[in-house]
Structure 1
Amino acid sequence: MEAVRIFTINTEAEFENLALEVFQYQYKYVDVYRTYVDLMKVDPNRVRRIDQIPFLPIQFFKNHQIITRGITPEIEFTSSGTTGSEISKHLVAKSELYRQSYTNGFRYFYGDEQQYCILALLPAYLERTGSSLVYMVDGLIRQSANPNGGFYLNQLDELAEKLAKLDSSGQKCLLVGVSFALLDLAERHKFNLKNTIVMETGGMKGRRKEMVRDELHGILTKAFGVDRIHSEYGMTELLSQAYSKGKGVFSCPPWMRVLIRETNDPLTIAPVGTTGGINIIDLANFYSCAFIQTQDLGRLNHDGSFKVLGRMDSAPIRGCNLLVYG
Structure 2
Amino acid sequence: MSAYSIFFDLSKSLGIDPVGSIIASIKSIYQLPNDRQEDIKLNLIKQNFHYHYEHNALYRKICEEKGVTLTDIVCIEDVVRIPAIGIGKFKDVNAHLLLTKPIHELQHELRSTGTSGIPSISRRDEQTLTRSMLSIFSTFREMFGFFGGAAIFLAPSSEEMPEMGLVKVINMFSGLLDSSRFFVSGHAFQPEAVVQQLKDWQDVHTRHIIGPPFLVERLIRYVNEHEPAMQLDRQTKVITLGGWKSFTGREIDRPDFYQQVAQAFGIHSEQVRDMFGLVETNFMAIECEHHAKHVPPWVHFSVRSLDDPNKEVPLGEPGRLAVYDPTSLSYPGFILTDDLVYLDSNTCSCGRNGQTVHYMYRIKGAEIGCCAINLEKFMTDKEAQVTQCNIG
Tell me whether the two structures share a fold, i.e. TM-score over 0.5.
yes
Match of 2:242 in 1: 202
Q: Does 1:14 align with 2:71?
A: no
Q: Distance in 2 between matches of 1:259 and 1:273?
A: 11
Taking the aligned partners of 1:139 and 1:124, their CA distance within structure 2 comes to: 11
Cα distance in 2 for partners of 1:152, 1:180 equals 14
Q: Partners in 2 of 1:208 and 1:45 — Cα distance? A: 45
| Letter paired with 2:144 | Y
Question: Residue type matched to 1:262 in 2?
Answer: S
Q: Please show how residues 153-164 of structure 1 align to structure 2 within 5 Å.
A: 153=184, 154-164=189-199
Report the CA distance between 1:312 and its aligned residue.
1.1
TM-score after normalising by structure 2: 0.73
Q: Which residue of 2 aligns with 1:108?
A: 142
- Closer, same or farther: CA 60–248 of 1 in aligned 2, 3 Å: farther
Unaligned runs of 5+ in 2: 1-11, 23-28, 30-35, 348-354, 375-392
Distance 2:170 2:83 in 1: 31
Contact 2:315 2:344 in 1 (8 A): yes
Q: Which amino acid aligns with 2:365?
A: S
Distance, in Å, in 1 between the alignment partners of 2:52 and 2:325 is 13
| CA distance 1:251–1:91, change in 2 (3 Å) | same
Change (3 A) 1:4 1:174: farther
Q: What amino acid sits opposite 1:161 in the alignment?
A: Q
1:29 aligns with 2:55: yes
In 1, the alpha carbon distance for the partners of 2:158 and 2:261 equals: 20
1:41 is displaced (CA, Å) by 2.8
Greater per-residue helix proportion: 2
Task: Indicate how the Cα distance of structure 1 residues 176 and 31 shifts in structure 2: closer, same or farther if over 3 A, else same.
Answer: farther
**What is the Cα deviation at residue 277 of structure 1?**
0.7
Q: Answer whether contact 1:234 1:240 (CA < 8 A) is retained.
A: yes
The question of 1:149 aligning with 2:180 is answered yes
Matched, 1:267 2:306: no
What is the identity, as a one-letter code, of the residue corresponding to 1:138?
N
The answer to whether the 8 Å contact 1:101/1:239 transfers is yes
| 1:286–1:226 Cα change, 3 Å | farther
Shift of 1:3: 8.4
- Structure with bigger gyration radius: 2
Q: TM-score, normalised by structure 1?
A: 0.87
Give the aligned partner of residue 82 of structure 2. Answer: 53
| 1:212 to partner: Cα distance | 2.7
Deviation at 1:234, TM superposition (A): 1.0
| Distance of aligned partners of 1:247 and 1:179 in 2 relative to their CA distance in 1, 3 Å threshold | farther
Task: State the shift of 1:246 in Å.
Answer: 5.4
Could you say which residue in structure 1 is the equivalent of 2:319? Answer: 276
For structure 1, the 5+ residue unaligned runs are none
Per the TM alignment, residue 21 of structure 1 is displaced from its structure 2 partner at its CA by 0.9
- Identity between Structure 1 and Structure 2 (%): 22
Matched residues in 2 for 1:215 and 1:124: separation? 29
Query: 3-state DSSP class of the match of 2:19?
Result: helix
